[in-house]
Structure formats: structure tokens, C-alpha cells
Amino acid sequence: MKIKYDRDLCQGHNRCYLLAPELFDVDDDGYAVLLVDGEVPADLQEKANLAADNCPEYAITLVE
């Protein structure tokens, strides 16, 4: 599983950072910063799902 994050869609709701801080940080302006490059570790896949399923702007998608 890989994460695709679209910075242009992100409005800084910070839901991903709250649900999956291992996968997302926030910058000084509150926009998400994706922390993983490539495969999501198996033990973080549930959190990746949560991050994607709770983004109000559909800025996060998962690619199997």
C-alpha cells in the first residue's frame, strides 16, 4: 500500500495528523506533510486507512 497526498487539495483540517502522526506531520502553516515515501509499513496500514477515510477534502488516497 502506498499513500498519495495532494498538497493542492489540502486545506489544513489536520485530521490525518491527529489520526496517523506516524504517517503525517504538519508544517508551520498547518498543512499536512507526508512522512513516508513508498510502501506503508504493515503495522501502519490501518492508520493510513483512517487518514484517507477522514480527509474532508479527499486529499489523501491509497494505492494498493
Q: Name the residues that contact other proteins, by CB under 8 A.
A: 11-15, 17-19, 26, 28-30, 50, 53-58
Nearer to other proteins, 38 or 48 (CB): 48
Q: Are residues 40 and 3 in contact, defined by beta-carbon separation less than 8 angstroms?
A: yes
DSSP run (H or E) holding 63:
strand 60-63
Strand partners, 2: 39, 63
Nearer to other proteins, 29 or 64 (CB): 29
CB of 49 to other proteins, least distance (A): 8
The three cell numbers of residue 55 are 480527509
CB of 6 to other proteins, least distance (A): 14
